[in-house]
């Protein structure tokens, strides 16, 4: 069998509001209010490469888990949504700890903007990517082949994301623009905590859009305690 090793070169990187892994939605598309832009490397800024892209409402992003690169791989992983103790096969999960740290996300295409310096810039919504994540490819989402409403959910049927009520004082909310608050509220209501952490006294912190956000969770209500600029 011929040597099949080859090198992937990023075509772009994403600019999102997430400076850390904590707080990033568990799946793409959960928070549509999250906006991000994809900036391409100079050699891929040919406008003709994007011809026809805006005819599609959604696209697939192929990208790298940059903070999950390891020398060895494990055949089983422990999904946080199963409590962090149950092991399942790595190929039955979307865990970032894989033989190859490749991620796949379906996001809503907002627009392709022509920037005078950066060339074509792709704006998307609902991305679950860390700021600066390298993008290896973009492909259109095609509903008649990519959508399978009757598909089996496996163990994820028992771990569907539930929603928290979000309580935030008006003076803290006012620190963010309306668009920023809408996106942050969407992230918070999806409960960014690992499922095995349920201490009502614990103060959690996450970085979002240049802010430090601290909150507690008790009896289904997430209360924002503090928002400060980084």
Please report, for the domain that includes residue 134, its CATH number: 2.40.30.70
CA–CA gap between residue 189 and residue 170 (Å, rounded): 17
Same domain for 38 and 108, yes or no, is: yes
Q: Which residues of 79-118 are buried (b: 16+ CB within 10 A; e: fewer)?
A: bebbeeeeeeebeebebbebeebebebbbbbbeeeeeeee
Joined together, the tokens standing for residue 62 give: 């192929």
In a domain, 168, yes or no: yes
In a domain, 28, yes or no: yes
CA–CA gap between residue 208 and residue 36 (Å, rounded): 13
Cβ neighbours around 13 below 10 Å, total: 19
pTM metric for this prediction? 0.91
pLDDT for 86-129, tens place per residue?
899 999 988 888 899 999 999 999 999 999 999 999 999 999 99
Provide the pLDDT confidence category of residue 159 given band limits of 50, 70 and 90: low
In a domain, 90, yes or no: no
Which pLDDT score is estimated for 154?
Answer: 87
In a domain, 186, yes or no: yes
In a domain, 76, yes or no: no
CA–CA gap between residue 35 and residue 183 (Å, rounded): 8
Same domain for 61 and 142, yes or no, is: yes
pLDDT at position 54 over 90: yes
Same domain for 108 and 181, yes or no, is: no
In a domain, 77, yes or no: no
Q: Which residue among 151, 186, 212 closes a domain?
A: 151
Same domain for 145 and 173, yes or no, is: no
pLDDT at position 47 over 90: yes
In a domain, 81, yes or no: no
Which pLDDT score is estimated for 57?
Answer: 98
Q: Hey, which bits of the chain come out as E strands?
A: 12-15, 35-40, 58-64, 76-77, 88-89, 102-115, 119-125, 134-140, 165-167, 204-208, 211-218, 221-229
Same domain for 123 and 172, yes or no, is: no
* Ramachandran sector of residue 99 (left: φ over 0; alpha: ψ -120 to 50; beta: rest): alpha
Q: Bigger pLDDT: 163 or 109? A: 109
Same domain for 167 and 145, yes or no, is: no
Q: Bigger pLDDT: 113 or 154? A: 113
pLDDT at position 25 over 80: yes
pLDDT for 177-215, tens place per residue?
999 999 999 999 999 988 777 889 999 999 999 999 999
Same domain for 125 and 179, yes or no, is: no
Same domain for 121 and 26, yes or no, is: yes
Residues forming beta bridges with residue 37, ordered by sequence position: 15, 123
Same domain for 147 and 165, yes or no, is: no
Question: Mean of the pLDDT values across residues 8-25?
Answer: 95
Same domain for 147 and 169, yes or no, is: no
| Closest alpha carbon to 218 in 203, 230, 205, 228 | 203
Provide the pLDDT confidence category of residue 155 given band limits of 50, 70 and 90: confident
Strand 35-40, strand 58-64: pairing: unpaired
Residue 18 exposed, middle or buried by CB count within 10 Å (0-12, 13-18, 19+): buried
Same domain for 25 and 139, yes or no, is: yes
Strand 119-125, strand 35-40: pairing: antiparallel
Same domain for 25 and 125, yes or no, is: yes
In a domain, 137, yes or no: yes
Based on the structure, what is the number of domains in the chain?
A: 2
CATH number of the domain at 224, please: 3.30.2310.20
| Structural domain for 198, as ranges | 161-229
Torsion sign (Cα): 14, 16, 21, 26? negative
């Amino acid at each position: 069998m011929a040597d099949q090793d080859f090198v992937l070169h990023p075509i772009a990187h994403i600019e999102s509001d997430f400076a850390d892994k904590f707080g990033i939605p568990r799946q793409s598309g959960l928070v549509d209010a999250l906006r991000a832009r994809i900036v391409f490397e100079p050699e891929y800024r040919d406008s003709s490469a994007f011809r026809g892209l805006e005819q599609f409402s959604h696209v697939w992003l192929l990208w790298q888990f940059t903070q999950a690169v390891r020398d060895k791989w494990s055949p089983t992983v422990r999904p946080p949504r199963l409590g962090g103790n149950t092991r399942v096969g790595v190929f039955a999960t979307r865990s970032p700890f894989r033989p190859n740290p490749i991620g796949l996300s379906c996001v809503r295409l907002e627009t392709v903007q022509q920037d005078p310096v950066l060339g074509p810039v792709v704006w998307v919504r609902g991305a679950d990517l860390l700021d600066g994540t390298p993008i290896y490819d973009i492909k259109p989402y095609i509903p008649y082949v990519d959508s399978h409403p009757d598909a089996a959910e496996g163990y994820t049927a028992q771990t569907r994301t539930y929603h928290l009520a979000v309580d935030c004082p008006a003076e803290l909310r006012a620190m963010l623009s309306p668009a920023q608050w809408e996106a942050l509220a969407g992230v918070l209501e999806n409960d960014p905590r690992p499922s095995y952490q349920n201490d009502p006294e614990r103060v959690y912190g996450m970085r979002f859009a240049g802010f430090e956000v601290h909150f507690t969770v008790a009896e289904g209500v997430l209360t924002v305690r503090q928002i400060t600029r980084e």
